[in-house]
Amino acid sequence: MSKDIVDLITASPSARNKKRKLNGKEKFWLIFRYVSLTFIWFLVVMPIYVMVINSLKGVKNVYLTNAFKLPEKLDFSAWSVAWNGTDYFPQAISDSMTRTLFFVIQSSIISAIIGSINGYVFAKWKFRGSNIIFTLFLFGMFIPYQAIMIPLVRLSTEVGINKSIYVLVLAHVIYGIPICTLIFRNYYESIPNELIEAGRVDKASMIRIYRSIILPLSIPAFVVVLIWQFTSAWNDFLFAIFLTGGSPKLSVATTALNFITGSSNQIYYGVNMTASLIVSLPTLVVYIFLGRYFLRGLLSGSLKG
């Protein structure tokens, strides 16, 4: 198998160039690269910068004309308004945030367990037709969910689950099966078959091999899948808006934010920016601390190991 894709990305070859002294032309290109990289860096950081500085200007003093200016004095009032709400800004996001956290954690854990079992079978216990079935699974990860949404909404209404946040747990678990299976399968493919054979020689059953050989080796893949499912369910808007029907009792982070910023609160830009920032924080924190695993999940969507 080829080298791991994330290792390729993060393996900077700078070390081998270090020894030589640069001539004039090479110096020019080095400076050119740094200038360009810095310029792009400013563009990339800009929206977050706008969110952060405008969340510190208070509720009233935020105008588009000074959107890029630093606050004259720090004022955290927009944070408490966005989080708790007030009389003129009734949509607090605290409830939606806790609700999202509650359902996202559950759906990620269930998805990871299912993905691990599926991945184990598709990588190490192939049966007749398993490759075709696996490809049919993968198609489920590329479909536009609109194509199943109307029947899904009807089904959930008939079962009555649309009144509970578990409708989103189920949706993310079900439609997460393909990607979670893929990530685990690719990971288990890299585990040498000899380990399984050793277990088989010892007459261990399939489940036994999974429990005592595969599972202890699976932690990195679990982290990747947990993070991937966490991020995609947290950032999901499509399932949330269709399956909860925009009901405020079931609003999650994205639907609440969309309601806030799409409603008549357009004048409170500071609060809007703060709410966007708060909603983005959990996934940003995950990215900052576990970026490698995040990247691996992201790239598995391209079907490359």
Partner 1 sequence: MSKQLNLNKRPISSKIGGLLFVLPSIITVIIFVYGLILWSVNVSLTNQNSGTKKETEYVGLKNYTDLITDERFTHSLGNLVKFTVVFILGTLVTGFIMALLLEKGIKGEGFFRSFYLYPMAISFIAMGTVFNWLLNSARDEEAGGLNLALQKIGLGFLQNDWYVSQNGAMFSMAIPAIWQMSGYVLALFLAGFRGIPDDMREAARVDGASEAQIYRHVLFPQLTPTLLTILIILGHISMKVFDLIIGINGKSYVTQVVAVYMWEATFDQRNYAKGTAIAIVLLIMIAIVVVPYLRYNSKQQAYR
Residue 143 binds partner 1 (CB under 8 A): yes
Give the closest residue to 119 by CA, choosing from 195, 198, 202, 191: 191
Residue 208 binds partner 1 (CB under 8 A): no
| Identity of the residue numbered 195 | L
Cβ 12 to partner 1, closest distance in Å? 4
Q: Which of 20, 147, 158, 192 binds partner 1 (CB under 8 A)?
A: 147
Residue 177 binds partner 1 (CB under 8 A): yes
Q: Which of 23, 146, 158, 264 binds partner 1 (CB under 8 A)?
A: 146
Distance of CA 233 to the CA centre of its chain: 7
Specify which residues 75 forms β-bridges with: 57
Query: Cα–Cα distances in Å, from 100 out to 60, 90, 236, 250?
Result: 29, 19, 10, 9
Give the closest residue to 278 by CA, choosing from 76, 74, 11: 76
Cβ 76 to partner 1, closest distance in Å? 19
Cβ 180 to partner 1, closest distance in Å? 10
Distance CA 153, CA 135 (A): 26
Q: Which of 22, 31, 34, 220 binds partner 1 (CB under 8 A)?
A: 34
The stretch near partner 1 (CB under 8 A) out of 3-11, 79-87, 156-164, 216-224 is: 3-11
Cβ 288 to partner 1, closest distance in Å? 8
Residue 31 binds partner 1 (CB under 8 A): no
Q: Tokens 């009233």 — which residue?
A: 60
Cβ 183 to partner 1, closest distance in Å? 14
Residue 63 binds partner 1 (CB under 8 A): yes
Residue 192 binds partner 1 (CB under 8 A): no
Residue 161 binds partner 1 (CB under 8 A): no
Asked if 82 contacts 256 with a C-beta cutoff of 8 angstroms, the reply is no
Residue 270 binds partner 1 (CB under 8 A): no
Residue 1 binds partner 1 (CB under 8 A): yes
| Identity of the residue numbered 16 | R
Distance CA 75, CA 261 (A): 21
Q: Is 305 helix (H, G, I), strand (E, B) or coil?
A: coil
**Number of residues in contact with partner 1 under rule CB under 8 A:** 114
Q: Which of 96, 107, 251, 272 binds partner 1 (CB under 8 A)?
A: 272
Phi, psi dihedrals of residue 205, rounded to the nearest 5°: -80, 170
CA atoms within 13 A on the CB side of 125: 14
The residue (of 165 and 186) whose beta carbon lies closer to partner 1 is 186
Cβ 131 to partner 1, closest distance in Å? 6
The crossing angle, in degrees rounded to 10, of helices 269-300 and 94-124 is 10
The residue (of 41 and 88) whose beta carbon lies closer to partner 1 is 41
